[in-house]
Structure 1
Amino acid sequence: MKLLPGFNLFDSAFDDLFYDPFMKKTEGYMKTDVTEKDGNYLLDMELPGYKKEDIKLELKDGYLNVSAVRNNETSEKDDQGNIIRQERFSGSCSRSFYVGEGITEKDIKANYDNGELKVIVPKEAPKQVEEKRFIPID
């Protein structure tokens, strides 16, 4: 049991009980850098090992929710077809960002390449340009 200053005893009491040194840790996934450029927020998110179709972006009530789910299964067999090694991994991660009530799906642009998700969100909701409407004369 680890007791560190500022940590609750009950939060870390069972950490060592379930510690597995061979298990790949998933904490730290979806590391995100948020920068501002040209009136937009740029989100650079690290998602190594995920495929484009594993990632979902959803806009609801002014929040941009980014989630990713991954399921992998690997098996190795010998010459006779006997399983030598079989591994399974299942993991997910998600983040939410408040982008504002005036932002719509059309305003947000996203690109995923080589384990990096880049999302561009306007800093402010685009102003609606009013169409010209002619008033008929009687």
Structure 2
Amino acid sequence: MHSHFSNDPSKKKGFGDLMQSMNEFFHEKPMRGMLQSIDDFFTSASNPFNSFPVDFKENDDYYLITAELPGVKKEQINLEVFPNFVTITVMNMELYSEENTKSQVIKRKQTMNRSSRTIPFPSVVNEKNVKASYKDGLLQIKVEKQSGKRISID
């Protein structure tokens, strides 16, 4: 019986070598920098576009949703109201360019951050009767509850 595996230690290139090659690859400068950038993006607490706190209150006639969006402009906010939920989306686009002494662009970077929260309603709402206001970093959404139609009994 012939085996494809060699017992010669000089020819053994196993899993350890593969892991060593992968470690070297991920620790080289360009790759390490890219991985660090990704880590920084997802762990940055100072980025208001990662997530935002939302408060939900229910009254007899309506729901009141308050989202804290410090530093966000009204134009960056998109609201979508449906019978069963509301979605708040915040988008931010930044353009950065660096120029040399001859006013030539040598580096240009564009980033777009988007964060979205969907808040479900406990019961169906009237999505046509919604009021929203934005002031001092607070977005308030007032959504009227769907009222049933009163029917007289004969």
Asked if these proteins are the same fold (TM beyond 0.5), I'd say yes
CA contact (8 A) 1:57 1:65 kept: yes
Q: Deviation per CA, 1:90-130, whole angstroms, max 9, x where unpaired?
A: 111111122256412232211123332111123x3234578
Name the structure 1 match of 2:147: 126
Please report the TM-score for the alignment, with normalisation by the length of structure 1. Answer: 0.58
Name the structure 2 match of 1:50: 72
Q: Does 1:18 align with 2:35?
A: yes
Please report the TM-score for the alignment, with normalisation by the length of structure 2. Answer: 0.54
Uncovered stretches (5+) of structure 2, i.e. residues with no partner: 1-31
Deviation at 1:80, TM superposition (A): 2.9
| Structure with more helix by fraction | 2
Uncovered stretches (5+) of structure 1, i.e. residues with no partner: 1-15, 131-138
115 and 75 in structure 1: CA distance in 2 versus 1, 3 angstrom threshold: farther
Deviation at 1:42, TM superposition (A): 2.0
Cα separation, 1, equivalents of 2:137 and 2:96: 20
Name the structure 2 match of 1:93: 115
Identity fraction in percent? 25
Which residue identity is paired with 1:33?
A: D
CA contact (8 A) 1:29 1:46 kept: no
CA contact (8 A) 1:57 1:66 kept: yes
| Number of residue pairs matched by the alignment | 114
**Aligned alpha-carbon RMSD (Å):** 3.4
CA contact (8 A) 2:95 2:109 kept: yes
